[in-house]
Amino acid sequence: MKRVLPWWLIGAALLVPSPLHAQSDGLANLVSDLILKGITLPGADNPGRPHAGHFTLGDPTFGGSQGLSQPDVASIAAVEAFSDRLRSQFANFPLGSSTGGFTFSFDERSGVYTRNTESFGPAFTERAMTVGRRKLSLGFNYQHSSFDTFAGEDLRDGSISFYLPHTDCCSGTVPPPSQQIPGFESDVMQADLVLQATTDTFAVFANYGVNDRLDVGVAVPFTRVDLEADIRTHILRLASADSSRVHTFVEGQDVSERTFTSNGSATGIGDIVFRTKYNFLRSANAGLAAALDLRLPTGDENELLGIGTTQAKFFGILSSTHGRLSPHVNIGFTLSGEGSRPETLVYEPLGVSDEFNLSGGVEWVAHPKLTILGDFLGRTLFDGGKIELESRTFPVRVGSGADASVPLQTSTTNPISGEPYRQLALKTGNLSQMLGAVGFKYNAGPNMLFMANVLFPFNSSGLNDRLTIALGIDYAF
């Protein structure tokens, strides 16, 4: 281990050149805090004008400035569900395989190590072969992810919208709600999200052959997370068009649009993974192994550096060799601990799910120094919940001062876009995610490999990066 520590320090140094700056409530809450607490109008703290700031949460106790304000529970739940699912998936991206690129057999009679595979092994899955008795393999990977979509919706173009109805500020009793009395309570705030979310991870891998059949290993990630959220807001004056200054972003002026911004970053160690693999069956062209990955909650989940709980992944490995081709399949199950649940207002966080894992791939020896790789990574998160678009409608009493004598109408179409109101909502059920990876390993020197891979999603479920770049070096001792 004395050889490994300096590389860990180098990896940490590469990730900390810029100063640490994180939100006080943590990056995991940056989006929800901005939408639910950060959107305000002039006069939000004026008891005489309680409606001025109450398209959002106002006070965390639902009291607002008068102690009577009731927010729209469905809207808060939609924002918190989005934030919760973002949190659960952000730090759960594939790290890479700890399988050594060079595998050896030891001849007891001659006392000589010989390579027993021509392939340099997979990048993100596992093969049954072990590194070899008393052999040490070290790996160093750099991975950049810039997340583009969530549930198939673009994170960067404002197409993810949340609708925040005016809170019930003036009914005088809580409950019941005032049913849009006075009429200005029928106005709605549209909040369009533009999110820049990136991670840079430097991971250190070590894999040691206890004997010819048993490997033990560790993966230590160092991660930097950067978030920048813009909320482009529009006041939809469904009722108060007759008095545009009732709801405005500039006192005394007709201003119905404004962008609210929040950003932050965090740098630190991620979740450490301890690994072991036992090759219990092998022949000249095939092998079977069983493996365990134990993931510890060493990363700060509030800063999106870890998932916040322990995970144990049990899986079997089948691999074979047919000339230059070496296919492999991994099948397993991941058990997740309960972990801590973030504090929310109306939404019950789902936590980290148990998983069914099915992965596989193929290696092709294009040249004695070059192996071409292709991997498929599939997982199903049990009760992970699906985020899907859901239509909404809003009750309206036309006229800013309308009372109960003005009949309620129903607004079904966004007056800005002319399209139905649609907002992301959580649906119960399992969540399946599928990633592909292609790349190569090149024998750049004695016992040294250079690796380059790209990862891409096969489906639109959950949080995705259209193209993730991964680079690395592997060295065998």
Structure confidence at residue 11 (pLDDT):
40
- Print the domain residue range for 382: 4-31+80-146+200-227+267-476
Work out the pLDDT band at 51, boundaries 50, 70, 90: low
pLDDT top residue among 457 and 95:
457
What does the block give as tokens for 449? Answer: 């490999």
Model pLDDT, residue 89: 83
The answer to whether residue 275 sits within a structural domain is: yes
Residue 53: pLDDT band by 50, 70, 90 thresholds? low
Please count the other Cβ atoms lying within 10 Å of the Cβ belonging to residue 335. Answer: 11
Return the pLDDT at 410: 92
User: What is the pLDDT, as a whole number, of residue 452?
Assistant: 93
In a domain, 162, yes or no: no
pLDDT of 1 above 60: no
Residue 31 has pLDDT above 50, yes or no: yes
pLDDT bin (cut points 50, 70, 90) of residue 170 is low
Average pLDDT rounded to a whole number, residues 174-178: 50
pLDDT at 242: 86
Domain total in the chain = 1
pLDDT at 387: 79
Q: What is the CATH number of the domain that holds 370?
A: 2.40.160.40
| 256 Rama class: left (phi>0) / alpha (psi -120 to 50) / beta | alpha
| Domain membership flag for residue 339 | yes
For range 403-418, the mean pLDDT: 89
Is the pLDDT score of 112 beyond 70? no
**Residue 388 counted as domain residue:** yes
Average pLDDT (211-228) is 93
Residue 36 maps to a domain: no
Is position 258 within any domain? no
Q: What is the mean pLDDT of the chain?
A: 82
pLDDT of 284 over the 90 cut: no
Q: What is the pLDDT of residue 279?
A: 93
Give the model's confidence band at 10: pLDDT under 50 very low, under 70 low, under 90 confident, else very high.
Answer: very low
pLDDT of 177 > 60? The answer is: no
Q: Which of these, 470, 421, 410, lies nearest to 441 by C-alpha position?
A: 470
* Per-residue pLDDT at 75: 82
Can you give the pLDDT at residue 60? 41
- What's the number of CA atoms in the CB half-sphere (13 Å) around residue 219? 27
Residue 238: inside a domain, yes or no? Answer: no
Q: Is the pTM of this model over 0.75?
A: yes
In a 10 Å sphere around its CB, with 0-12 CB exposed, 13-18 middle and 19+ buried, how is residue 253 labelled? exposed
Q: How confident is the model at residue 57 (pLDDT cuts 50, 70, 90)?
A: low
C-alpha 442/C-alpha 373 separation (Å) is 11
Q: Average pLDDT of 349-355? A: 85
Residue 49: inside a domain = no
Whether the CB-CB separation of 262 and 282 falls below 8 Å is answered with no
User: How many angstroms from the chain centroid is the CA of residue 168?
Assistant: 34
| Band of pLDDT at residue 52, cut at 50, 70 and 90 | low
**Residue 197 pLDDT:** 94
* CA dist 271 → 274, 299, 307 (Å): 10, 5, 8
Beta bridge partners of 206: 138, 218
- In angstroms, rounded to a whole number, what is the distance separating the alpha carbons of residues 47 and 418? 35
Mean pLDDT lowest among 249-263, 337-351, 365-379, 449-463:
337-351
pLDDT the model gives residue 362: 94
Residue 183 neighbours by CB under 8 Å, 6+ apart: 239, 240, 396, 397, 398, 399, 400, 401, 402, 403, 406
pLDDT greater than 90 at residue 38 = no
Higher pLDDT, 26 or 438: 438
Q: Give 59's pLDDT tier (boundaries 50, 70, 90).
A: very low
Mean pLDDT for 363-367 is 93
Tokens of residue 409, six digits: 């109408």
pLDDT band at 118 (very low <50, low <70, confident <90, very high): confident
